[in-house]
Structures are given as structure tokens and as C-alpha cells.
Amino acid sequence: MSRRAVGKSRGLAVLGLGSLLAIIGSWRLFLTGQSPVPETPPPAPRRLTRLEQTGARLYASVCAYCHGAKGDGFGLNSPNLAIPPRDHTDSAYMSALSDEQLFALIKSGGPSQGKSSLMPSWGGRFNDREIMALVAYLRSLNRSRAGHR
């Protein structure tokens, strides 16, 4: 077989493989409705502000034990609690709370705002600036804003 014939047969093989992959991709799209290649890349994670970073550090040191490292309510202690910890990633719920309400919940505990008695008061451990940092971090977990649904 000549060099030209070998090159031509390789080219046909590559063309055939490319066609096969295109057909498989089309069938996947047809059967699942999902494109084999994402159409748009997921958004890059937003960088935390300095205040939010402080809140993240405080959250990891205390809040994550019940609310989870991701704020989803699945912390180490959550299986042992009679009332499940709040999911801080729930934008609908978190948007319904004002920053002042979140501040009071953290500083004075759940009962001060008509919430769970299992949510302790952290006013003796954190100063007002640290509590504001926690509020800012909570907002970053779900990108909610107070009073916006």
C-alpha cells in the first residue's frame, strides 16, 4: 500500500470516528435532552468580602456544628436535635428575614424571635461587629438580600 493510500485510509477512519461521535452526541441529546457539552460554563464562585470572610471563619468555628459546613442544615450535631437546624442556603426563607432579625437571632437566640429554643444566644461570645460579619456570611450562602424574594 502506498503512503498516499495509507494517509487516505487514516483520514477516512478519523472521519468515520468523528461521525460516530457526532451521532452518539445527537442521540444523547435526543434521548436525555442534555447536550454532551455544557452550553454555558457555570458561573464562577463569587469572592467573599473581608466582612464575609470573617463571618465564614466564625461560622465554621461555631455554627457549622449544627447548620453544616455548607450551611445546608446537615451539621455534625443535626441528627441529635429534635428540631432540624435551619438551612441557610434556602434563599426563599432567608430573604424573608431582615438583617436586623438575623442579628437578633444570633445575638439573643431563637426564642427572642419566636424561633427554635435550640438556637442558642451568641451575644456573650461574639461582639456586634462579629455578629454583623455572620449576617453578611449568611447572605453570601444563598445570595439573598433582606426583604427580597
The predicted pLDDT at position 141 comes to 92
For domain 50-142, the CATH architecture is Orthogonal Bundle (1.10)
Closest CA to 115 of 72, 83, 74: 83
Q: Is the pLDDT of residue 21 over 50?
A: no
Alpha-helical segments (H) within the chain: 3-32, 50-58, 64-67, 91-95, 99-108, 128-142
pLDDT digits (tens, 9 = 90+) for 124-140: 999 999 999 999 999 99
Q: Judge whether 88 and 138 are in contact, CB under 8 Å.
A: yes
Confidence of residue 142 (pLDDT cuts 50, 70, 90): confident
Confidence of residue 3 (pLDDT cuts 50, 70, 90): low
Give the rounded percent of residues in the chain with a pLDDT score beyond 70: 67
Closest CA to 89 of 75, 103, 77: 75
pLDDT digits (tens, 9 = 90+) for 26-81: 545 555 555 555 555 555 567 899 999 999 999 999 999 999 999 999 999 999 99
